[in-house]
Structure 1
Amino acid sequence: MLPSPKSNLVAEVLPKEEKGNQLFPAFLKLNELHTLLIGAGVVGLEKLNAIVNNSTAAKVTIVAKDIHAAIFEIAASNSNIKIKQKAFSADDLEDVDIVFAATNDNVFNAELRKLAHQKGLLVNVADKPDLCDFYLGSIVQKGDLKIAISTNGKSPTIAKRLKEILNEGIPNELDQTLQNMSTLRQNLNGDFAAKVKKLNKVTERLVNPQKSFAERNIKWLIWLVAVAFILAVGVTLWETEPEFQSFLTHIDPLFYWFLGAGFVFAMIDGAIGMSYGVTSASFSLSMGLPPASASMAIHISEVLSNGIAGWMHYKMGNVNWKLFKILIIPAVVGAVLGAYILSSLELYSSYVKPIVAVYTLFLGGVILTKAFNIKRKRGKEKIKNIGPLGFIGGFIDAAFGGGWGSIVLSSLIAGGRHPLFSLGTVKISRFFIATLSSLTFFTMLGGKYWEAVLGLIIGSALASPIAARVSNKISAKTIMVAVGIIVMLASLRSVIMFILKLI
């Protein structure tokens, strides 16, 4: 049976089911309207305060038999507020623009709403959302900035809490910014295109402030002056002091080799957060240092360089402190234990190194794969076993001369962590690991190969602040690709060297 035309008409007239907050935000100029407030008890006082606090020049007429004493005080100091101490009558709706009802008489409130609608007036009834044409939201105000919060009448408590949060979070100085923008707006002349060009020109100075040559290059000028001064002093002493010349010529060439190596390895490590230990260990062993002494030299040099790099990452906001707290204690325990075992049982470290290399080789491949799918699965499947990872990374790093970055940073990135924040967290964690493992090595081995240690310290310290700034300008994908390639190359080299030894 087909529906009748009448039934189709009814279906078209019936309103659709409302979903979500259907309120339309609007700011009323109460200073230009006549407001009627019916009821003057505690609730009426609250409504009056809301009106006056938001519009001190609002014209308000209050109608009620019983008047709260505080309302008389407000009216006494505000000539725009008039009080009629009497029962409400329909005549009170004459020459009124908007109505507030603050009574607990539901029958009266419903009748008042009908009368107001007959005159085309909007009504707000306290604590009766169904009778309201509009609601009063929680207000956040900073000078001329005003923010109204609505929960569609569902939870005034949430609206109040959001008000507190915004009041604390928005600085009072923002009003001064508004005044400055208003002045700028009034001074803009011409058509729309001309105003946009002028506004762009003014705001460009905020993004790219004009600085003198010295201001733009002050840090490089300081470095240049410092280097020039050191060179000048060095050349003067070389030419005039035979004792100084004799001292330099008798320094073991090992110092200069490790000075250059420390700078290069720290630049790479600071930029991508790994490989300093692996590359330094390989270089140290090739220069004839025993494994334990090589690891000691590496970790002592890392105390200063990682302290500087960690501080730079902290200043740039690259540290995830929640991740740091979970990672640091197991990592330190593992590092101290690894340093103790390597110092005591140095011969056994070579047998475990290939296993680590195979593991990091696999991680390098995982990172490269994720580098080209970074947006597809970002934020999912994050690695959660941070504590065990920190312990293993710290242990292997100390026991085998390196691997903290290769193992921990690789695992964090491969496990879905953000590369830049993982890098900053790993760098600042490494400072504490290097410090405690160095103390363990020094206690067990004493001061050996000081030329290598001093060279790595100076070289890595010079590179650390430069490398940290470089890393902050590299995209997440670039960091992941660089990490993956370096980890795979370093790991593959270790595996090949082990196989060649067996042959």
Structure 2
Amino acid sequence: MQVLPNQPDNAASFSEEEKGNQLFPVFVKLNKLRTLLIGAGNIGLEKLTAIVNNSHSATITIVAELVSPEVYALIANYPLIKVKQKSFDVDDLNDIDIVFAATNNNILNEEIRKVTHERGLLINVADKPELCDFYLGSIVQKGDLKIAISTNGKSPTIAKRLKQILNEGLPAELDETLQNMSALRQTLNGDFSAKVKKLNKVTQSLINPKKSFAERNIKWLIWAASVLLIGAIGFSLWNTEPEFQTFLINIDPLFYWFLGAGFLFALIDGAIGMSYGVTTASFSLAMGLPPASASMAIHISEVMSNGIAGWMHYRMGNVNWKLFKILILPAIIGAVLGAYILSSLEHYSAYVKPIVAVYTLFLGGIILMKAFNVKRKKADQKIKKIGLLGFVGGFIDAAFGGGWGSIVLSSLIAGGRHPLFSLGTVKISRFFIATLSSLTFFTMLGGKHWEAVVGLIIGSAIASPIAAKVSNKISAKTIMVAVGIIVMIVSLRSVIMFILKLI
């Protein structure tokens, strides 16, 4: 059953269309429909060519008083096209599904549109957008791939130019890729999600074209060359300089422990985007570092990484400067105050350690909640006390070794702030917080536990370029669960040990 299209002839409908492109794009199977083309001059030839180029098996009836030789030449290769050389009559609409009017008589075109609508049929009137129920877009075709371009009837010339650009830009081999994808699709098993993941992986090459071995592995070649160079220099110094050998032997083993820990924790942070502070703080406490020294090591090692991350977000325009201005000063004050208080309590580290352990135990629980998508209730309105949030976040981050992202970023997003701009603003703020809290720690504590500090700096720096690769190979949920459990166990151990000492 065909339905009469709702297209009132009044100014209100035109003004509605002017608000934007209201067209609904569809691809019609004309080879399944009965098509009527009225007019067989130059305009009719253009419409007919467009139809047969896209639907070779279309059943078409042409009605026209005059039929150009070019039309006869074209239909010679299409036996399903028949011509009625006569004037249009309403009976020509019998047994017809869709109509194309291609005459140069405006009065006749309007009459054809009227009787067509009375029959409940859709019509396209050449060069008269206001009389059309549908438009013919410019077509770009590469085998089975077909792209239609519409300008809402405003400029066919623009559509043709875009067609040229796409025809030149899309490789002819794209159809071969499409056929291969179709064959692959028939072999896939599993649910819809599994099939989509497999197809996405295969089609990645469309946006990341094949590169040479050197192009694909230039980063690793540079790293391999650097490691070989450093290794060669180290081997030479070991064999020729006794002082260097003595220096390495006498380095506190704590350095090597923190070198490995910094590397591992930076990999985890790169894979799941969080937990560097909480994992490092838990490890540092377990290794016997006082809370202040642990926090100093964490913040110094984070200065460079957060500076780079903040700069990248700035370059990409992800920083909300109004939010930054409100956030940064209270955050710095809180961080410096937290670092100062924690450093002042260095002599009471035995009592501060369990407090920090309880805090990291709490953060470990948060990591587990995020791993299993346990969401807290979101606020209905944007958080307004940004300055207070920055102060609290900065203070806790410095006083307990981490938590800036967990507290501030999660609060901003939960409070209705845009996630991307919140992330960029928090990252660039973190650089200043890490820098000034590190300066405060260093002023108060001096070079205490430098082995841990240097180990974390070097380890995290080495891991940074590798972290992205790791994130693509390991399940983020698996890492988060493992990290959450380990952090909670280590933190719980510190709390229990403190309680046992009191008993």
2:332 to 313, 326, 336: 336
Please list the CA deviations of residues 398-421 of structure 1 after superposition, one character each: whole Å capped at 9, or x if unmatched. Answer: 232223355457778999999999
What displacement does 1:218 show? 6.5
| CA gap 1:477/1:284 in 2 versus in 1, 3 angstroms | closer
What displacement does 1:340 show? 1.9
Identical aligned pairs, as a percentage? 55
8 Å Cα contact 1:278/1:401 also seen in 2: yes
What displacement does 1:232 show? 3.1
SS at match of 1:179: coil
Amino acid at match of 2:172: Q
State the match for 2:13 in structure 1.
none
| CA gap 1:292/1:148 in 2 versus in 1, 3 angstroms | same
SS at match of 1:402: coil
Amino acid at match of 2:465: P
| CA gap 1:148/1:239 in 2 versus in 1, 3 angstroms | closer
State the match for 1:109 in structure 2.
110
- Counterpart CA distance in 2 for 1:326 and 1:231 is 48
State the match for 2:300 in structure 1.
300
- Counterpart CA distance in 2 for 1:260 and 1:425 is 30
| CA gap 1:111/1:290 in 2 versus in 1, 3 angstroms | closer
- Counterpart CA distance in 2 for 1:392 and 1:344 is 15
What is the TM-score with the length of structure 2 in the denominator? 0.57
SS at match of 2:396: helix
| CA gap 1:470/1:229 in 2 versus in 1, 3 angstroms | same
Counterpart check, 1:36 vs 2:35:
no
SS at match of 1:230: helix
State the match for 1:135 in structure 2.
134
State the match for 1:271 in structure 2.
271
1:177 to 145, 170, 190: 170
State the match for 1:86 in structure 2.
none
State the match for 1:260 in structure 2.
260
Counterpart check, 1:26 vs 2:19:
no
| CA gap 1:37/1:502 in 2 versus in 1, 3 angstroms | farther
State the match for 2:19 in structure 1.
none
- Counterpart CA distance in 1 for 2:365 and 2:64 is 76
Amino acid at match of 1:460: S
SS at match of 1:36: strand
Query: Following superposition of structure 1 onto structure 2, how do residues 329-368 of structure 1 map, counting pairs within 5 Å?
Result: 332-333=328-329, 335-345=331-341, 346-347=343-344, 361=361, 364-365=364-365, 368=368
Query: Following superposition of structure 1 onto structure 2, how do residues 38-77 of structure 1 map, counting pairs within 5 Å?
Result: none
Runs of 5+ unmatched residues, structure 1: 1-12, 39-46, 64-77, 82-89, 151-155
What displacement does 1:124 show? 3.1
State the match for 1:456 in structure 2.
456
8 Å Cα contact 1:367/1:410 also seen in 2: no
- Counterpart CA distance in 2 for 1:135 and 1:283 is 67
| CA gap 1:486/1:391 in 2 versus in 1, 3 angstroms | farther
Runs of 5+ unmatched residues, structure 2: 7-21, 54-61, 72-84, 94-98, 188-198
Please list the CA deviations of residues 173-226 of structure 1 after superposition, one character each: whole Å capped at 9, or x if unmatched. Answer: 56553522457899x9xxx989989xx9xx899589999988877655654554
What is the TM-score with the length of structure 1 in the denominator? 0.57
- Counterpart CA distance in 2 for 1:322 and 1:373 is 25
1:99 to 76, 101, 125: 101
What displacement does 1:338 show? 3.2
What displacement does 1:458 show? 1.0
Please list the CA deviations of residues 62-91 of structure 1 after superposition, one character each: whole Å capped at 9, or x if unmatched. Answer: 99xxxxxxxxxxxxxx9979xxxxxxxx96
8 Å Cα contact 2:267/2:470 also seen in 1: no
State the match for 1:84 in structure 2.
none
What displacement does 1:261 show? 3.5
8 Å Cα contact 1:339/1:398 also seen in 2: yes
What displacement does 1:234 show? 1.9
Please list the CA deviations of residues 126-160 of structure 1 after superposition, one character each: whole Å capped at 9, or x if unmatched. Answer: 4666xx6x4225x355576764578xxxxx97x86
Query: Following superposition of structure 1 onto structure 2, how do residues 182-221 of structure 1 map, counting pairs within 5 Å?
Result: 182=175, 206=205
321-330 or 489-498: bigger deviation:
321-330
- Counterpart CA distance in 2 for 1:167 and 1:379 is 51
Amino acid at match of 1:136: Y
| CA gap 1:111/1:498 in 2 versus in 1, 3 angstroms | same
8 Å Cα contact 2:327/2:390 also seen in 1: yes
- Counterpart CA distance in 2 for 1:305 and 1:108 is 69
How many matched pairs? 428
Please list the CA deviations of residues 257-304 of structure 1 after superposition, one character each: whole Å capped at 9, or x if unmatched. Answer: 433343333334333344433343455566676544443332111123
Q: Report the aligned-residue RMSD.
A: 6.5
State the match for 2:190 in structure 1.
none
State the match for 1:401 in structure 2.
401
